[in-house]
A and B are shown apart, each in its own frame.
Chain A
Amino acid sequence: QVQMVQSGAEVKTPGASVKVSCRTSGYTFNRYGITWVRQAPGQGLEWMGWISPSNANTHHAQKFQGRLTMTTDTSTSTANMELRSLRSDDTAVYYCARDLSIPGSSINWGQGTLVTVSS
C-alpha cells in the first residue's frame, strides 16, 4: 500500500534552515505530484507548494517566495522540503502528501514533522 514516511522532529533557532524529507513507497513515484502543507499549533491547514516528480516543476504560495525549496529524488522516491530564514511563526507540523490527480486532491499523507523554531 502507499506509504509516506517523513523525517523526525526538528528544533531550530531563528534564522536557521530546516529540511524535511518524505520517503514514499507503494506507487510509481514519477506519476503523481507531491503537495506540502503545514499546520501551526492549534491552527488550520496552510498550503505551501507542490512539486511534480516527473519534471521537477514546482509551484509555491507567494508568502514563501525566496524561502522555500522543494525537490525530489527519483532514485529513492523521496521528496524534500527546505525552508530557510526560519521565524518563530514557522513553528508547525509539516506534511507531505501524494496527489490523486491535481494538487488539491491529496490522497495519501505523511505522519507530519513538527518543526519548532525557538531561541
Chain B
Amino acid sequence: QSALTQPPSASGSPGQSVTISCTGTSSDVGGYNYVSWFQQHPGKAPKLMIYEVSKRPSGVPDRFSGSKSGNTASLSVSGLQAEDEADYYCSSYAGNNNWMFGGGTKLTVL
C-alpha cells in the first residue's frame, strides 16, 4: 500500500484560509468515513485535529474543519494564525484492519 497523497507544502497569510488535500483510492479514503487529520509541531508528538472526516475533538478550534469528496479528503483552516504553522498528516482506514498516513504537508504562515 502506498501512502495517501498530500501536497508537500501549503501557505497562507494570517487571517486567510487554506485547504490541504489528501488523496487516496476507493479502498481507503473513498471507501470509509474514517479519515483523521493530525497537526505536528517540530519535535512534538502529533495532535488529533479531526477524526471520522469532520468531527473535532474537544479543545480544537472551530477554525479547523474536515470534509471528503470521493477519494479526496480535505482539511480547511480559516483565520490562519502563526501557531497553525506545522506539519499536517491525514490518515485513513484502508480495510482489513489496516490504517495508513499521508506523506504530510508543511503549512507555512507567511
Contacts and interface: CB of A to CB of B under 8 A. Distances in A.
B51 A101 contact: yes
Interface string B32-48: 00111010100001111
B21 to A, nearest CB: 16
A104 B46 contact: no
Interface string A36-50: 010000001111001
Chain B: interface secondary structure? strand
Contact of B97 (A59, A106, A109, A110): A59
A35 B45 CA distance: 13
Nearest to A109: B45
Contacts, number: 67
Contacts of A111: 45
A35 B48 CA distance: 13
Nearest to B99: A47
Given A109-B45, A111-B45, A46 B52 contact: no
Interface of A: 35, 37, 44-47, 50, 59, 61-62, 95, 97, 100-107, 109-112
